[in-house]
Structure 1
Amino acid sequence: MKFDHPDPELNDPLTDEELGFLERFLSGNAVCGDAMDAVMLHGFLTAVISGPNVITPGAILPWIWDARHATRQPRFLSAGRARKVTGLIFQYWNDINDRLNHCPDLFKLPLHATVYEGEEVPVLDEWCEGYCKGIEIDREAWEPLIERHPWWFNLILLFGTASGYHELARRDYTAEQRRSFVLQLAASALNIHRYGCEARRELTEQGERPDTIATGSEPKARTATRTTKRNLDAQDRNVPKDLFLVDSLGRATDEAFHPLALSPLATRITRGGTSVDAHIYRADDDGRAGWILEIIDASGTSTVWDEPFRTDGAALAEALSTISTHGIAPVTEDGPARAPKH
């Protein structure tokens, strides 16, 4: 399922720079510690796109921000920044969808690597955890497919669930075996997607549509009903367009847009015709945990200091000192980026 965005640029594949921006946001202070990273997000979106039912963007965003409970919302510097981040997720969704549907040979799992038994091996857990989360939010609808083709799900469940971790420890796969699992996982994902597309095509030929899980739907307790040919037009009139926009998530000031508490010392710094924005905001609601320094350049590249500062004045002093010592251009190129949370 592809969601066409009115902004043509948001229908294009993500560039490396855009994906890097999204990765930094998902590992930064604006989201909780249980937010998905880019690899988990890829697995999650792959499952959502391939699943038996249509799950709209507004229903999946809460799980991206908080993969454990879907209750903790991100906090953005501005509504414009919120639209940029959700727009990039929108692009990622469409990019994965296009590869699955139109160029499966280009479908690859964007995995991290680690050293295992002295050899470099891919880290499969994050992607599989994301895929399992995509199954979990609509588990009842997935169960018949899992029962019919369990071999497609063996590796996904092995690396993506708590019970699978215990089994992994018992099996003790070699580094070579773990590397071979990458192609097997990609093949499973493509098989599942093809099966889902065929099932939806058969429903359409019968004058029906898959269920739709929209904003506000709870996992495992879907309220959507099977739509027959007689009321397709009525459904089209009643279901609002659910795009990856802040506006689609509710009242911007109350639900979707949770602005960070910016310090009055936050400012734009210009040197030699180049400008960056020094954002200084509280690390928690009351400021007791200190102040976070984030510098954003004109392209949107963000650098966040690892440790909070005791005062907002100290954060501003650090920004000015860094620019004075190293110049303004290198701040967002080689600055002190945060360590990944996942």
Structure 2
Amino acid sequence: MVDYDGNTGLSGDELDGLESFLLFESGLLHPMELETLDGFLTAIIVGPEIVKPAEWLAWVWDTSGNGASPKFQSAEEESRITGIVMRLMKLIVVQLQEEPDEYRPLPDRIDYADVDSARRAARAWSVGFMLGVRVWSSSWTPLLKNEMAASTTVIIGVVAGMFRESLQIDEEKEYKFWYSVPDAVLDIREFWVKRML
């Protein structure tokens, strides 16, 4: 169950419906999971450039980058599904702009059945965020070349499993870094905001 109240304009049922469409009804081979989508959108929001929806939606439908598109049953279904995605993005924007101290990634707003499920969700979110960094990596170069600032993406990359071999850590230890992810997101956002001043 997603911990959203009535003021967000986005219900848990809508998010469940979005995930059901992506994974089971869209005909897509490599769609994003809900947590991956939230991480991906967060990277775009806090990142250095404005990315057009047509560009990033292509990755939502097909994480392999091959440009596959979903099979919508009608124009109404297309409008409903893309509308939920856009509202999720708006919700993240509002959280980060209006209540940054209360910001929580989607996996922290869902009641999972067990720790393993929560750990997989955190990893999926982090994979989505790092995909957002990788796809537009040239724009992220100033942060990635700044040792202190780059440590923020390293934290998220660890949870994503990107450093498992080099750091010789297991999934349980990776998950411990998850608790530092909200602050890392805020630090990334602050880095780019300061550069734009």
TM-score range, shorter chain: 0.7 to 0.9
| In 1: Cα distance, 2:129 partner to 2:150 partner | 15
Q: Aligned to 1:62, which of 58, 75, 95?
A: 58
Q: 2:191 corresponds to which residue?
A: 195
1:70 positional shift: 4.3
For structure 2, list consecutive stretches of 5 or more residues without a partner in the other structure. Answer: 1-7
Equivalent residue letter for 1:136: R
| 1:140 maps onto 2:151 in alignment | no
Q: 1:340 corresponds to which residue?
A: none
Which segment drifts farther, 104-113 or 130-139? Answer: 104-113
TM-score, normalised to structure 2's length? 0.83
- 1:23-71 alpha-carbon deviations (Å, 9 max, x no partner): 1111113141310011000000000011111111111100000011141
Q: 1:226 corresponds to which residue?
A: none
Equivalent residue letter for 1:167: S
Higher relative contact order (CA 8 A, sep 6+): 2
1:96 positional shift: 0.4
| In 1: Cα distance, 2:30 partner to 2:114 partner | 21
Query: In 2, are the aligned partners of 1:126 and 1:160 still within 8 Å (CA)?
Result: yes
TM-score, normalised to structure 1's length? 0.50
Number of aligned residue pairs: 184
Q: Which structure: greater strand fraction?
A: 1
- 1:255-293 alpha-carbon deviations (Å, 9 max, x no partner): xxxxxxxxxxxxxxxxxxxxxxxxxxxxxxxxxxxxxxx
Q: 1:238 corresponds to which residue?
A: none
| In 1: Cα distance, 2:133 partner to 2:72 partner | 28
Query: In 1, are the aligned partners of 2:47 and 2:140 still within 8 Å (CA)?
Result: yes
Q: 1:155 corresponds to which residue?
A: 155
| In 2: Cα distance, 1:94 partner to 1:70 partner | 26
Larger Rg: 1
1:115 positional shift: 4.7
SS of equivalent to 2:57: helix
Change (3 A) 1:113 1:128: farther
Equivalent residue letter for 1:166: E
For structure 1, list consecutive stretches of 5 or more residues without a partner in the other structure. Answer: 1-11, 203-342
Moved over 6 A (4+): none
Root mean square deviation of aligned Cα: 2.3
Identity of aligned residues (%): 25
Q: Aligned to 1:100, which of 96, 100, 109?
A: 96
| In 2: Cα distance, 1:121 partner to 1:130 partner | 15
